Amino acid sequence: MGFVYDRLLGGKNGAIGMAILAALILLILPMMLDLFRLNLVGKYLTYAFAAVSLVLLWGYGGILSLGQGVFFGLGGYCMAMFLKLEASDPESTKIQSTPGIPDFMDWNQLTQLPWFWEPFNSFGFTVLAVLLVPAVFAFIIGYSMFKRRVGGVYFAIITQIIALILTVLIVGQQGYTGGINGITDLKTLHGWDIREDSAKYILYFVNAILLFSVILLSRFILTSKFGRLLLAMKDKEDRVRFSGYDVSNFKIFVFCISAIISAIGGAMFTLQVGFMSPSFVGIVPSIEMVIFAAVGGRMSLIGVVYGTLLVNYGKTIFSETFPELWLYLMGALFIAVVMYFPNGLAGIWDKHGGKLFGFIQNMKYIGVVRSMLDKKRLVKAEVSGE
């Protein structure tokens, strides 16, 4: 029990934060919002996966990746390929010159399914691909960069170039990828219609529970010895190296983990929104993901979820109310966060939110009650003769 409490929930404060967030996402929002808004929240929470991955990678590892969109996109595309194949059965595509292949292939004169699409007929393979394709990709990038001690700004810019390459490639190879339109009009998962209201509710909760699992897993990683090494590396990389650790292996590992986490978000995005497009692979979404993490607090797993929700909700609200002005507001928000609240929402919470809960900690009677309980236990023990 102690292990779970300390390692997974992060002690008392962590547990309180986690409980509040869980209540918000699993109870309060579903009860308060109609399905349309809830579906939006679900979409935002898929971005939160990428933000959480950045806590590991950037907040603790000190590695800023401007390419998380690449992994988010890869995960999303893997899922989209499976769903698209299911939506392209010969019956529903009979007006095409070649029935049974996705419509965009038919528009580009492909007459048979490309070989790398074939395995995505299997859901099992797709789930594996969602996790492994980004991981392998991250391993290749990470291995070649970290082994050569590329870091910091250069890593950030190279990941940006990779995001650009992938975008140009996806848009240019439209016969195989759906091009700039992306892979659209996804309908069913094993016959289960993901566009139905009931499905949207179910997917929202699946997504939320997955997000919590990922947060718990990340917490577990960060509170382990590995997490401490990450922090140490961030501050004094050479010292860690001189202590006999292979720094690059740790970096590669955390980069792969963060890629997998982002990819899960991407796959859930595809399921909830019903399409995937190259606009998630590019540079802008990747930077936006970093901004969600920065606003929420790059060191706080819980904070970044709030950050993601706040920025996206702000975007939606602003753009509904002042469509012309929202970019000013967004820009100002980022600048303000970076300048005055470097630890984001979580930093503000730690500074001021503690006061709210301070009185709880000062409640002496909790201690009194506990000691009474302890006494009771002792008495019991004596009685039962243990």
Q: Interface residues for another protein in 189-218 (CB under 8 A)?
A: 195
Binding to another protein, residues 277-306 (CB under 8 A): 277, 279-280, 283-284, 287, 290-291, 294
Closer residue to another protein in complex, CB, 28/332 = 332
By CB under 8 A, name the one of 38, 127, 132, 158 that touches another protein. Answer: 158
Give residue 56's identity as a one-letter amino acid code. L
Instruction: Output the six-digit token pair for 199.
Output: 């499905």
Q: How far is the CB of 172 from another protein (least distance, A)?
A: 4
By CB under 8 A, name the one of 2, 109, 124, 352 that touches another protein. Answer: 109
Cβ atoms < 10 Å from Cβ of 14? 19
State the Cα angle at 226 between 223 and 231, rounded to 5°: 80
Binding to another protein, residues 218-277 (CB under 8 A): 273-275, 277
By CB under 8 A, name the one of 11, 90, 114, 342 that touches another protein. Answer: 342
By CB under 8 A, name the one of 105, 162, 229, 261 that touches another protein. Answer: 162
Question: Do 214 and 261 contact (CB within 8 A), yes or no?
Answer: yes
Binding to another protein, residues 304-333 (CB under 8 A): 316, 319-320, 323-328, 330-333
Q: How far is the CB of 339 from another protein (least distance, A)?
A: 6
By CB under 8 A, name the one of 28, 128, 168, 360 that touches another protein. Answer: 168
Q: How far is the CB of 198 from another protein (least distance, A)?
A: 14
Binding to another protein, residues 10-49 (CB under 8 A): 34, 36, 39-40, 43
By CB under 8 A, name the one of 152, 368, 373, 378 that touches another protein. Answer: 152
Closer residue to another protein in complex, CB, 107/201 = 107
Give the CA distances from residue 125 to residues 74, 130, 131, 138, in Å, rounded to whole numbers and listed in that order: 14, 9, 10, 19
Q: Considering only 101-109, 113-121, 251-259, 377-385, which stretch makes contact with another protein by CB under 8 A?
A: 101-109
Q: How far is the CB of 91 from another protein (least distance, A)?
A: 17
Question: Do 305 and 319 contact (CB within 8 A), yes or no?
Answer: no
By CB under 8 A, name the one of 6, 16, 107, 232 that touches another protein. Answer: 107
Q: How far apart are CA 203 and CA 195, in angstroms?
A: 10
